[in-house]
Chains A and B, each alone.
Chain A
Amino acid sequence: MTRRLFPLVALLVLAASVAGAQTSRWVERTKADVRAGRGSYFDVVDTVLKGEQVEIVRSEARWLSVRTPRAKVGWVFEAALATQPVSGGTSDFLKLAPGDASTSATAASAGAKGLYAEDYARAKGFDYSVVSWIEETQVTAAEMERFISAGRLRGAGDPR
Chain B
Amino acid sequence: MNALPALLLLFAVALLAGCQSGGAGGLMISLPGPAGQALRAAAGVAPAVPGAFSDIDEPEEIELGRAVSANLGSRYPLLRDRALTRYVTLVGNVVAAESERPDVRYRFAVLDTPEVNAFAAPGGFIFVTRGALAAMRDEATLAGVLAHEVAHVALRHGIDDVKAAKRKHLAVVAVQQGLAQTRVRAFSNLIASAADVVADQVVLKGFSRADESAADRAGIAYAGRVGYDPAGLRDFLRTLGGRSAQDASMTRFFATHPPTGDRLSEVTPLVQAQAGGVRNPERFAAALRGGGQRPAR
Do A and B pair up? The answer is: yes
Question: How far does the Cβ of A142 sit from chain B's closest Cβ, in whole Å?
Answer: 12
Interface size on A, residues (CB 8 A): 61
The answer to whether A3 has its CB under 8 Å from any CB of chain B is no
Counting residue pairs across A and B whose Cβ atoms lie within 8 Å, the total is 189
Which one, A91, A151, A152, contacts B59 given CB within 8 A? A91
Inter-chain contact B195/A120, CB cutoff 8 Å: yes
The answer to whether B188 has its CB under 8 Å from any CB of chain A is yes
Question: How far does the Cβ of A129 sit from chain B's closest Cβ, in whole Å?
Answer: 9
The answer to whether B205 has its CB under 8 Å from any CB of chain A is no
Interface size on B, residues (CB 8 A): 65
Inter-chain contact B184/A99, CB cutoff 8 Å: yes
Inter-chain contact B187/A93, CB cutoff 8 Å: yes
Inter-chain contact B59/A124, CB cutoff 8 Å: no
The answer to whether B211 has its CB under 8 Å from any CB of chain A is no
Question: How far does the Cβ of A144 sit from chain B's closest Cβ, in whole Å?
Answer: 6
Question: How far does the Cβ of B131 sit from chain A's closest Cβ, in whole Å?
Answer: 18
Inter-chain contact A39/B102, CB cutoff 8 Å: yes
Interface residues of B in 73-96 (CB under 8 A from A): 73-74, 78, 80, 82, 85-86, 89-90, 93-94, 96
Q: How far is the CA of A32 from the CA of B102 in the complex (A)?
A: 12
Inter-chain contact B185/A99, CB cutoff 8 Å: yes
Question: How far does the Cβ of A48 sit from chain B's closest Cβ, in whole Å?
Answer: 12
Q: Would A30 and B187 be within 8 Å (CB), given that A130-B70, A143-B90 are in contact?
A: no
Inter-chain contact A148/B190, CB cutoff 8 Å: no
Q: Would A114 and B66 be within 8 Å (CB), given that A39-B97, A62-B102, A137-B82 are in contact?
A: yes
Which one, B64, B66, B186, contacts A97 given CB within 8 A? B186
Inter-chain contact A96/B187, CB cutoff 8 Å: no
Q: Would A127 and B73 be within 8 Å (CB), given that A96-B170, A117-B191 are in contact?
A: yes
- Max chain A Cβ within 10 angstroms of own Cβ: one of B52, B60, B125: B60
